[in-house]
Each structure stands twice: as C-alpha cells, then as structure tokens.
Amino acid sequence: MEKYQNKTGFSISQNYYRNSENLRALIKKANFTEDDIVIDIGAGKGVITKEILNYSNNVVAIEPDRELFQTLKNNLQDKKVKFLNIDFDKYILPNSSFKTFSNIPFSKTAEILNKLLSRGSKLEKGYIFLQSEARNKYCGEQVGFKNTMLSIIYGVRYRFRIAHSFDKRDFIPMPNVNIDLLEIIKRDEGEISISDFELFEDFVSYIFNRSNPNIYACRNIISEKQFDRFARDINLKKKSKPTDLLIADFVHIFNVISMTEKIDIFRGYYRQMKREQSKIIKQNRTRAF
C-alpha cells in the first residue's frame, strides 16, 4: 500500500483508483450541480477533483501531503478549485449544505466519517470509498448487517446504500479487502421523529456500553412495566442484545424514556465517552513517538 507523510508526521496509506471510465460514470450519477459545494478528501493528484469540476463550480480539494498537494495544484492550475494543504481533522466544515465524493485514506476512515456524520455536520449527500469492515460498522442494518452503536446514532440522520462495489484490481496498490462506494443521503426532516438528537446519542451509547450485554440489564432506566410495553410494541425480549435491535426500535424506546426523569442517568454519556477515547488515542500517539 502506498504511503506518504503528512504535516503531522503520521504515515497515511491510500489506494489509488485507476479505472477512469468507471469513475467518470459514478461521478456523473452523483448528480452534482454547479452550485453544490463538493469536497474531495484526500484529493491526491486530483483525478477525482478534475471530474467533479465538470459539474460543480464550488470544489474544495483537501490534500495533507506537501508533495502531492503541489502536484494537485499543478495538474489543476487553470481550474477554479479551493486547494487546502491540511489534514481533514483540521478542516472546518461548511456552515451550509455540502456534498463529497472522496477516495479517502483508509487509515483515516474513522476520523473522517465521524466528522462528516456528526450532529453538527451539514453534509447533504456523500460518496465515500470504503472498506467492507467499515461499511458494516457504520451502516449496520441499512446494508444488511447487525447494528452497532454508530450505525444507530448515524442511521437516524442518514440513509446509507452501497452505490457500487469496486474491482480490487482497479486500485494501486491492490487492497486485501473489498472496497465499496458508500452513498450517504441526509434524511428528510420528520422522516424519523426524535425530539433531541444529542440526548439520543447519549441514550444509544449508554445502552451499548453496559457491562451486561442484554437490554434487560438496563432496568435502571427501563422499568419492568416499560419493558413489558416494549415487548408488546417491538417484540423486545429479556435476552435481546443492543445489536439485535433496529433503528426504529431504539427510536421507539428512546421516545418513551425521554419523557421520564431517567434521562439524567445517561445525559452527557456520549460526549464523555468520546472525551475518554480521545485521551486514549493521544496517549497512544505519544507513546508511539
């Protein structure tokens, strides 16, 4: 796998796609318009950026590697592009709706998707080259797999679909796992009714991170009476695991629990969990260097 050093000194891996005819067809199907803000994350030498420019006049090309960035600018020097030589985690997302079509560095998948799909993001539509493991983790039931904490949290705001499955031989270097093009579409307002998305994140992360793996263990927030109700409404069983539940099941349970005083038990849980994870990541990076 090809590697390069970004400004921070971290080694980033990326598989470059070389089937230009198929790439043109996929970008055409994305139906970008000239007014769309379209971001190419990990733009490399500008192959994808150049194709997007056939449809949009508001393209942002982000490439952290200095040498690749210079090549990118040289290749598209006569084009109207906003070039940014920064890591995506330093990029401030647009304040208005935006779209993306990106062959991202797979080693940065978590950071990129978590930022794109976060509650404050105004991503309207996106197409991301994604390894199969990440597809399952982030999309869950929407691509035929069991749900994860993230597939529930992001699934209430976005619809996911596999728009294309790539031939591994069309990448340089050829990856060891299957690569798909994930389509991400922002759900319409009212499609899923939740009064407080921030509190929903807290609720889902609290459920998924209990020491006992079944839902019945959460009797500190779900009373016996409520559990019986959910058993009737959504066929919830005492041995049901969080991964057994659908997005609609979590929404139904949350909408009932959120009307009780039990919300204070899990309020702020998701943000606290992310802070703890961030500390661990920083500690690991410090040790690595």
Q: What integer pLDDT is reported at residue 178 of this predicted model?
A: 94
Residues 6+ apart with CB under 8 A from 106: 13, 14, 15, 131, 134, 175
Q: What integer pLDDT is reported at residue 13 of this predicted model?
A: 61
CA dist 273 to 6, 11, 150, 191, 250, Å? 28, 27, 13, 28, 19
Is 242's pLDDT higher than 90? yes
Q: What is the pLDDT of residues 33-54, one digit of tens each?
A: 999 999 999 999 999 999 999 9
**197-208 helix and 269-288 helix, angle to the nearest 10 degrees:** 70
Q: What integer pLDDT is reported at residue 8 of this predicted model?
A: 39
Q: What integer pLDDT is reported at residue 277 of this predicted model?
A: 73
Domains for the chain: give ranges and CATH numbers: 2-186 (3.40.50.150), 197-288 (no CATH)
How far is 208 from 115, CA to CA, in rounded Å? Answer: 21
Residue 271: both structure tokens together: 């943000």
Task: Tell the residue number behind the tokens 């950071």, with chain if given.
Answer: 111
**132-139 helix and 109-116 helix, angle to the nearest 10 degrees:** 30
Q: What is the pLDDT of residues 195-223, one digit of tens each?
A: 899 999 999 999 999 988 899 989 999 99
Q: What integer pLDDT is reported at residue 190 of this predicted model?
A: 83
CA dist 21 to 25, 71, 167, Å? 6, 22, 13
How far is 168 from 183, CA to CA, in rounded Å? Answer: 19
Residue 279: pLDDT band with limits 50, 70, 90? low
Is 72's pLDDT higher than 80? yes
Residue 10: both structure tokens together: 């971290």
Using only C-alpha atoms, the chain has a radius of gyration, in whole angstroms, of 21
